[in-house]
Amino acid sequence: MASPGSSDLVIVANRLPVDRIENPDGSPGWRTSPGGLVSALEPVLRANDGTWIGWPGGTESDLEPFEADGMDLVPMAMSAREIEEFYEGFSNATLWPLYHDVVEKPLFHREWFDTYVEVNQRFAERAAEVAAEGATVWVHDYQLQLVPSMLRELRPDLRIGFYLHIPFPPAELFQQLPWRRQLLEGLLGADLVGFQLSGAAQNFVRLVRQRVGHKTHRDLVYLPDGRTVRAAAFPISIDFNLYADLAQTEGVAARAEEIREAVGNPSKVFLGVDRLDYTKGIYARLRAFGELIADGHLDVEDAVFVQVATPSREQVEQYRILRDDIERLVGRINGDLGKIGRPAIHYLHASYPREEMAALFRAADIMVVTPLRDGMNLVAKEYVACCHDDLGALVLSEFAGAAEELRQAWLINPYDINGMKSALLDAYRTDEREASRRMKAMRKTVRQHDVAAWADSFLAELAAVRPSHGKSVRP
Ligand code: G6P
């Protein structure tokens, strides 16, 4: 057994909550990392005074643990080859498309998996060094599915939780993976395996029964060594009050006004905010909006679309192709349908600080979230939290995890362009009473099920699955 460190709660995720960047004057600086995982876990780490192990982006190798913004961070180095084979390759060109309904073709390369094993092993070793005797280690997401069993091997005293932020695919798709058994066994190193939705947890248990041959009963897996692993759903959320309060500050209110002014004060602003990812359904959504203008249902004097596309995984080929496709489409729609000073779509390839996002959410009348498949989609919840006056409409894909909770949204099938067009139009034409009835109900849901409640319930369940082991972590 490796000798223990001093942290009672260790979060292990591929990314640190901050990315290393170079300031304009050449000095090193930090910037919040992209994606839902980081925005959800940051408040959890702060509340629990834990340590976060992850990659700060880039290839720098002489990295020491540091504190940023009051958080204890342990950076993991990654070589250029590991970035290519573990991160861009196996994580984002094999697992990501496979777990998202194969909306792009997953690539299977044996060298990529070998590097995935190596990097997972290094993360497990680092976690084993940092965790105190009997500590809780919470491992996150598809990049690190082998870490639970590797860590258990090194430190059987630990209480280990795993949470998957993205969908877990149906058995029919998962079975394509040449390394399916290794991944299932990797996850079974955890005491509790958490998913966004209960269907995902059921997929997992069924696969374990069929492929690994362990006995299962409902959400429990019985291992030959006497250990029990539980698989259950814990739908993730956001820090509701943080967004609700931010949206009501004077600065954000003034900036929201400025944004509406800048886009020509139309009667309705549509908004899309996504990482530039092929799972997000950006292309079909913009096409639907363009057709509504072309058909004469909407007028560019009256309705504009603001699309923020956050740069993501730019070295992966499918992401480059997607960017070109979307930019060509935006150019064509604006060229065909815009007027001087009145583009139909304001397209921004950029990432913005939280205040600017809150201002955009406040400025938007209709939030359009149309992924082809999404684990949860926290942007939908952030929008709801920012609608402090209960106005604002959410158009939401049935294939986002969030659709299970946000039933009062205008739910759409993102593959059905006509259906999406009628929902956009319906949300555009809705009266304030209807919008506010729907928004009130959604705000209540997100307020009650915020990220603190999510973390509390996961950590409480983790302690319950393994009561005789480990210290309790105050959720
Ligand atoms: C999603 C994933 C995260 C990932 C994030 C950003 O939210 O679930 O694990 O960190 O996207 O993607 P990136 O590849 O930039 O880390």
Task: Give the position of tokens 């961070």.
Answer: 73
pLDDT of residue 474: 43
Q: How far is CA 461 from CA 7, 48, 140, 197, in A?
A: 20, 16, 16, 16
pLDDT of residue 44: 85
Q: Check pLDDT > 80 for residue 78.
A: yes
- Taken in order 252, 255, 257, 263, the sign of the CA dihedral is negative
CA–centroid distance, residue 267 to ligand 1 (Å): 35
Atom of ligand 1 nearest to the CA of 91: 14
Q: Does residue 188 contact residue 121 with C-beta atoms inside 8 Å?
A: no
pLDDT interval class at 432 (50, 70, 90): very high
Cβ count within 10 A of residue 310: 16
Q: CB within 8 A of 26, min separation 6: which ones?
A: none
Alpha carbons within 13 angstroms on the beta-carbon side of residue 75 total 19
3-state secondary structure of 7: strand
Q: CB within 8 A of 187, min separation 6: which ones?
A: 145, 148, 149, 162, 193, 204
Average pLDDT rounded to a whole number, residues 135-163: 98
Give the DSSP per-residue string, 18-45: EEEEE-TTS-EEEEEPPSHHHHHHHHHH
Q: Check pLDDT > 70 for residue 93.
A: yes
| Among candidate residues 382, 346, 387, the one with its CA nearest the CA of residue 365 | 387
Among 12, 16, 37, 313, which is best to mutate for testing ligand 1, by the most ligand atoms less than 8 A from CB? 37
CA–centroid distance, residue 89 to ligand 1 (Å): 14
CA–centroid distance, residue 35 to ligand 1 (Å): 5
Q: Model confidence over 191-219: pLDDT tens digits? A: 999 999 999 999 999 999 999 999 999 99
Q: Check pLDDT > 60 for residue 119.
A: yes
Alpha carbons within 13 angstroms on the beta-carbon side of residue 224 total 5
How remote is the C-alpha of 141 from its chain's centroid?
A: 10
Q: CB within 8 A of 291, min separation 6: which ones?
A: 417, 421
Q: How far is CA 397 from CA 170, 243, 270, 361, 424, in A?
A: 19, 22, 15, 18, 12
Is any atom of ligand 1 closer than 6 Å to the C-beta of 280?
no
Is any atom of ligand 1 closer than 6 Å to the C-beta of 15?
yes
Is any atom of ligand 1 closer than 6 Å to the C-beta of 88?
no
CA–centroid distance, residue 92 to ligand 1 (Å): 9
Q: Ligand 1, atom 4: nearest CA belongs to which residue?
A: 35
Question: φ and ψ at 195, to 5 degrees?
Answer: -130, 170
pLDDT of residue 1: 53
Cβ count within 10 A of residue 98: 20
Average pLDDT rounded to a whole number, residues 276-280: 98
Alpha carbons within 13 angstroms on the beta-carbon side of residue 239 total 18
Is any atom of ligand 1 closer than 6 Å to the C-beta of 141?
yes
pTM, full prediction: 0.96
Average pLDDT rounded to a whole number, residues 235-259: 97
pLDDT of residue 28: 79
pLDDT interval class at 385 (50, 70, 90): very high
pLDDT interval class at 472 (50, 70, 90): very low
pLDDT of residue 34: 78
Task: Give the position of tokens 């359009």.
Answer: 368
Is any atom of ligand 1 closer than 6 Å to the C-beta of 266?
no
CA–centroid distance, residue 141 to ligand 1 (Å): 9
Cβ count within 10 A of residue 188: 22
Atom of ligand 1 nearest to the CA of 87: 14
Average pLDDT rounded to a whole number, residues 443-465: 95
Is any atom of ligand 1 closer than 6 Å to the C-beta of 165?
yes
pLDDT interval class at 434 (50, 70, 90): very high
Is any atom of ligand 1 closer than 6 Å to the C-beta of 312?
yes
Q: Model confidence over 172-197: pLDDT tens digits? A: 999 999 999 999 999 999 999 999 99
Q: Model confidence over 221-244: pLDDT tens digits? A: 999 999 999 999 999 999 999 999
Q: 257 has which bridge partners?
A: none
Give the DSSP per-residue string, 279-322: GG-HHHHHHHHHHHHHTTSS-TTTEEEEEEEE---TTSHHHHHH
Structure tokens, 103: 């909306």
Task: Give the position of tokens 């603001």.
Answer: 306
| Among candidate residues 279, 474, 275, the one with its CA nearest the CA of residue 371 | 279
Nearest-angstrom CA–CA distance, 55 and 32 = 13
Q: Ligand 1, atom 16: nearest CA belongs to which residue?
A: 15
Average pLDDT rounded to a whole number, residues 119-144: 98
- Asked if the interface predicted TM-score (ipTM) of this complex is over 0.90, the answer is yes
